[in-house]
Amino acid sequence: NAGVTQTPKFRILKIGQSMTLQCTQDMNHNYMYWYRQDPGMGLKLIYYSVGAGITDKGEVPNGYNVSRSTTEDFPLRLELAAPSQTSVYFCASSSRGTPYEQYFGPGTRLTVT
């Protein structure tokens, strides 16, 4: 049981490039989330999903897109990367019965230069 896995672990992007951060969970959780963590700022919610085919914006969605074609996968797409998107990105999941007890992946450290 791997839990929540994220790839890649690290990535350096040039301004204007695009990339997809992958997230997969094997716990059959309905809810999935993407957060970004900036130093001294806690975690901010980017997007979330309550099930396959359903996504919604969080607190800081600008510059990102998501899709949820399966229960297991919840990729995060960055289009036209900007230095302000330099951050650590965490994917999380939770079950419908305990939606606030979230399980986090190990994170992706992204630098945009």
Partner 1 sequence: AQSVAQPEDQVNVAEGNPLTVKCTYSVSGNPYLFWYVQYPNRGLQFLLKYITGDNLVKGSYGFEAEFNKSQTSFHLKKPSALVSDSALYFCAVRDEGGGADGLTFGKGTHLIIQP
Contacts with partner 1, residue ranges (CB under 8 A): 4, 31, 33, 35, 40-43, 45, 48, 50, 56, 58, 90, 92, 99-107
Q: Identify residue 14 by its one-letter amino acid code.
A: K
Residue among 107 and 112 whose Cβ is closer to partner 1: 107
Nearest approach, Cβ of 20 to partner 1 (angstroms)?
A: 19
Which stretches of the chain are DSSP H helices? Answer: none
Nearest approach, Cβ of 80 to partner 1 (angstroms)?
A: 25
Residue among 47 and 78 whose Cβ is closer to partner 1: 47
The rounded distance, in Å, linking the Cα atoms of 27 and 33 is 14
Interior/surface letters 51-77, b for 16+ CB within 10 angstroms, e for the rest: ebeebeebebbeebebbbeebbebbbe
Nearest approach, Cβ of 58 to partner 1 (angstroms)?
A: 6
Residues 6+ apart with CB under 8 A from 68: 32, 49, 51, 52, 53, 54, 55, 74
Residue among 82 and 95 whose Cβ is closer to partner 1: 95
Residue among 29 and 78 whose Cβ is closer to partner 1: 29
